[in-house]
Amino acid sequence: MANQVEEYLTEKGIPFTVHELPVEQADGTAVLAEEPVDHDKIFKTLVMKGNKTGVVIAVVPLDARLDYKKAAKATGNRKIGLPPMEFVLEHTGYEHGANTPIGIRLNHPDYLLVFDESIQDYDKVIVSSGELGKAVELAASDLVELLHPEIENLLK
């Protein structure tokens, strides 16, 4: 059965592939990293809290390390960090491991959304579809065009 993200992509006519994953682990992206997919295409969605902007959604490669100083500067904050899981669930509606930039943008269009600039180097990317155990693979250009994120250098 299609979820909100899959229905939205279908409605917009954006081609995508669903990856269904075992959910023994709490973090769907960690499980996805063990699946027979191009590991480098996996991007994680980080929910952060800025001291000036409030909720910030950052999308970065799975194995990359976010540079908090760069992220703060790119988003107009003096400080930025990862809030408690309760804050994430309350402000996004998604549990840890299921945060999706597509669903968050749909449900919270006012949240600041920023992608690491490396996304421009990919033909296709894989992001969570909003459920533990499910991810979607789609053209990076389609994801950027659909969500209109800020594109910044966010990595160490």
Number of domains present in the structure of the chain: 1
DSSP state of 52: T
pTM exceeds 0.95, yes or no: no
4 domain residue, yes or no: no
Alpha helices per DSSP H over the chain: 4-11, 28-32, 68-75, 85-92, 101-107, 140-147
DSSP symbols for 60-74: EETT--B-HHHHHHH
Q: Is residue 10 part of a domain?
A: no
**Terminal-to-terminal C-alpha distance of the chain:** 39
Has residue 29 been placed in a domain?
no
- What's the domain range around 44? 16-24+39-152
User: What gap in Å lies between CA 98 and CA 77, rounded to an integer?
Assistant: 25
For residue 49, the model assigns a pLDDT of 98
Mean pLDDT by 10 residues, the chain (156 residues): 94 95 56 64 95 97 95 97 95 92 97 98 96 94 98 97
Q: What is the pLDDT of residue 24?
A: 53
Within-domain flag for 11:
no
Contact 15, 34 (CB under 8 A): no
Residue 5: inside a domain: no
Q: The domain that contains 88 carries what CATH number?
A: 3.90.960.10
Q: What is the pLDDT of residue 20?
A: 81
